[in-house]
Structure 1
Amino acid sequence: MYNIAIRVDASVQIGIGHVMRCLTLAQMLKQSLDSHIIFVCAEGLPGKVNIAIREAGHDLILISALKSIKVDWNEDARQTIQQLCNYKIHWLIVDHYQLDYRWEQMLKQHVNHILVIDDLANRKHDCTALIDQNLHPAMNERYNKWVPMQCRLFLGPANLLLRSEFAKLRQHRQTVTKFQHILLNFGGSDPTHETKKWLKVLLDYPTIIKQVHLHVVAGPANTEKEVIQQLCMLFPKADYYDQADMAALLLGMDAAIGAGGITMWERCFMGVPSAVISVADNQLESVYEAERLKLIWNLGKSECIEEEKFIGWLKTIMNDLKLLRIYQHRCLNYMSSAQADIHPVVEYIKGEL
């Protein structure tokens, strides 16, 4: 049996996306390898994230290196080594914006290989392989100065980490025939409170909300779930979800409103045309590229979007079904490269064991 450790965190501030993509990779590895997977996370992990890791059959070790929002990388490395010292770790996967080559060099002495999941390209790494699923300008060169020359790179949406359900359900995706079902979701925690903000805006447009059926996913770590649920009750047609099987939900959506990042690519993969609101600076480049390729509508940064722009986009697509279909088919065609039976990273990990 191969031991694979994953160092990742989740909180209201940083969201749960890092853990969710690591859970997806863990699922892929379990399906392809006789593996024992150990998650190492900082204390304060949201309860539902804790449960999700354990229910997936993985071990969970909590460390206390996160004293505030900032991580003490040296103490983090020391505690991680201490917790993993009783295992022979074949691969260590790290998905953490506050850890870099210094942490990785300390861990290298205790593990066979290190895989980094990143999308910032803003710090040095000392790793065997790196995956960045996002689209960026000069994508193939942006990590050259940050990783060792021999590091294997997996770059772009073709390397999207998707649960197997996405590929299965994508086969049943139908061409949009009318504008009715629309998804509103801003990840697992929605730290900028977009869901509440835009629900309140929509309530001022009764003509619009009478024509659409809203599907609102608050996210399991959203601190305003109760408020959002109450707002949904004010709409003539709105379904509230604390959390949802996103692949199954997207299959029935005609359009969506959400953040950038990996959830944007999930929507594209499922052929759901979407308006994107960037809620973090690290989403901007990828959103600009997706806009340039006309895969999404870029409404701008969260703090800069005017109500008129949001409502203007909604009115446009409500009255232009042909445009909606064009974006749908463009998304499906572009993301067709992300449908490999075995993810390239999983194949690489197996080959290096």
Structure 2
Amino acid sequence: MHFVIRADASVQIGAGHIMRCLTLADKLSYLGGSVEFITRRLSGNMDDYIQSKGYKVHSLIHSGLLDLPTSDIDSNSMFDYPQELDASETIQLLSGKDTHWLIVDNYCLDIIWEEKLKNYSKKLMVIDDLANRSHCCDLLLDQNYTRNKNRYDNLLFPETIKLLGPKYALLRDSFGGNGVRKKRKFNTIENVFVFFGGADPNDLTSLSLRSLRHPELKNISVTVVIGNINPNQKKIRKLIAQLPNAKLHVQTEDIAELMANADVALGAGGTSTSERLAMGLPSIVVTVADNQVDSIKDLDHDGYLVWIGSADNVCEEIIQVSLLAVIRSPSLGKTQSLSAQKLVSPNGCELVAKLIVEGLDAETLIIRKANPDDCLLYWHWASDPVVRKNAFNIENISWESHQVWFAKQLDNSDAILFLIESEYGPVGQVRFKNVDSVFMISYSIGRVFRGFGLGRGLLEKAISTLRLSYTGIVFGDVKNTNIASKIIFKQLGFKEIVPSPKKGAHRFELHL
């Protein structure tokens, strides 16, 4: 399988998008996939770092797009980004490639970009955590913790698979080891871990280092991590030289081990939040963008971390007071740590990668009768280009006519509509039309789950359910060009009727 990832890094954006995409890329590669990146060559980009990890990088270098909106990504400025131009450049790089998945992790891109790109890849995945714009994708991943489980409901098509919450956090394997977690002590605070992302454009690292000069903190060891793209390295090095027990790590690969040896963290509310939670590292958090506030506020409310405010209103004194409170009551950190470890799945990245590489186990499929709420989902499935190509009536279906048809089907006792689902969401549908105990079968599988051999399991589940209430004959007409369906019917024991009574088709029959 071939995967293409579209993501950016810069001094303003930070390194988080690229780092979590690299984690996913490593897991996809381990499962046998090939991965390439498409990035824009911004100031502070990580193209060299990506290449050092063994991945090919294609750069978008249009001169008018060398600067992106600042970290205030919730402002209207993000929507001024020329998505059509970005899409055009990306299409040029994708043309001629057999891309199985296009994965995009970029706050400036939405349904406008995605609709232009969806035909250049078999499937499209979006990584997001804003929930502030519409998407046209097969799968959406948002690893953030939030109490609002329905925040994407009006932003996605009904067939889109949603992977939401820390269960699917894109963490490197090093963050999943119970062994390193056990090293932490809770009776005393001896080591503070400071990391505000690879870029830290607000220079919260320097602010934290100045706050650590408090007399009561003089015996605390300080572990500081920054990225290569941090623009304030000289200032940070000078501040570290003033602290007797401080050590700097630049673009380190050992963050998990450094976290394991720490007793409390000072950090931002970005992608590293999941890493700290997975490691059970008690955290004092500063949000550096508006989109981080809701999730961090919920985590604070539910006792998983301590939120002390946003970057524009945090000062040395606030950091000092928060640190001293933890030092004077280390048991608070223990409670936070034990709760956090239960929240984040250490194998979230593996769950995501296996889903998009291997699909589902047909044995896990769930069947139910369709209901009025499924009308829009069925219309989207029926309007899919592959479905229309395989249908005997290839004309497009209007939403108005579909609504009328769907309501009639639900009211017709001779129409049996089964919806097949999984733990991740809708998978496909099987429909039977009953005429005197002769059942005409038709089915379709949602785009995201095609190519995984689920057709047989889908039909087996539906036919087995039909047998519980009916006897008779099931038949299906398959277009001559639909090779996959012909194979599935034969595998299920259907017998081909020769000659076929329907022109341009093969007919298959099965006795219930």
Q: Does 1:40 align with 2:50?
A: no
Provide the residue aligned with 1:106 in structure 2. Answer: 116
Indicate the RMSD between aligned Cα atoms, in angstroms.
Answer: 1.7
Provide the residue aligned with 2:153 in structure 1. Answer: 144
Which string of whole-angstrom CA distances, capped at 9 and with x for unpartnered residues, describes residues 36-82 of structure 1? Answer: 211000013636x2222112221100012424325321111111110
| Cα separation, partners in 2 of 1:171 and 1:209, compared to 1, 3 Å | closer
Q: Which amino acid aligns with 1:37?
A: V
| Cα separation, partners in 2 of 1:51 and 1:168, compared to 1, 3 Å | farther
Q: Which amino acid aligns with 1:107?
A: L
Match of 2:289 among 280, 291, 299: 280
Q: Does 1:192 align with 2:189?
A: no
Provide the residue aligned with 1:210 in structure 2. Answer: 218
Match of 2:237 among 229, 240, 248: 229
Alignment partners' CA distance in 2, 1:242 and 1:171: 21
Following superposition of structure 1 onto structure 2, how do residues 1-353 of structure 1 map, counting pairs within 5 Å?
Answer: 2-32=1-31, 34-44=32-42, 46=44, 49-65=46-62, 66-69=65-68, 71-139=81-149, 141-168=150-177, 172-176=181-185, 177-203=187-213, 205=214, 207-244=215-252, 245-335=254-344, 338-340=345-347, 343-350=350-357, 351=359, 352=449, 353=451
Alignment partners' CA distance in 1, 2:297 and 2:25: 30
Contact 1:173 1:271 in 2 (8 A): no
Q: Which amino acid aligns with 2:226?
A: A
Q: Which amino acid aligns with 1:275?
A: I
Alignment partners' CA distance in 2, 1:111 and 1:344: 22
Q: Higher RCO, 1 or 2 (CA under 8 Å, sep at least 6)? A: 1
| Cα separation, partners in 2 of 1:316 and 1:146, compared to 1, 3 Å | same
State TM-score, norm by structure 2: 0.65
Percent of pairs identical after alignment? 33
SS in 2 for 1:331: helix
Alignment partners' CA distance in 2, 1:309 and 1:46: 30
Alignment partners' CA distance in 1, 2:229 and 2:349: 31
What is the CA distance between 1:340 and its match in structure 2? 3.4
Unpaired segments of 5 or more residues in structure 1? none
Contact 2:42 2:67 in 1 (8 A): no
Q: Which amino acid aligns with 2:223?
A: H
What is the CA distance between 1:306 and its match in structure 2? 4.1
Q: Which amino acid aligns with 2:57?
A: L
Alignment partners' CA distance in 2, 1:132 and 1:303: 26
Q: Which amino acid aligns with 1:20?
A: M
Alignment partners' CA distance in 2, 1:90 and 1:333: 34
Unpaired segments of 5 or more residues in structure 2? 70-80, 360-448, 452-512
Q: Which amino acid aligns with 2:317?
A: E
| Cα separation, partners in 2 of 1:171 and 1:181, compared to 1, 3 Å | closer
Q: Which amino acid aligns with 2:68?
A: I
User: How many residue pairs are counted as aligned between the two chains?
Assistant: 345
Provide the residue aligned with 2:475 in structure 1. Answer: none
State TM-score, norm by structure 1: 0.93
Which deviates further from its counterpart, 310-319 or 64-73? 64-73
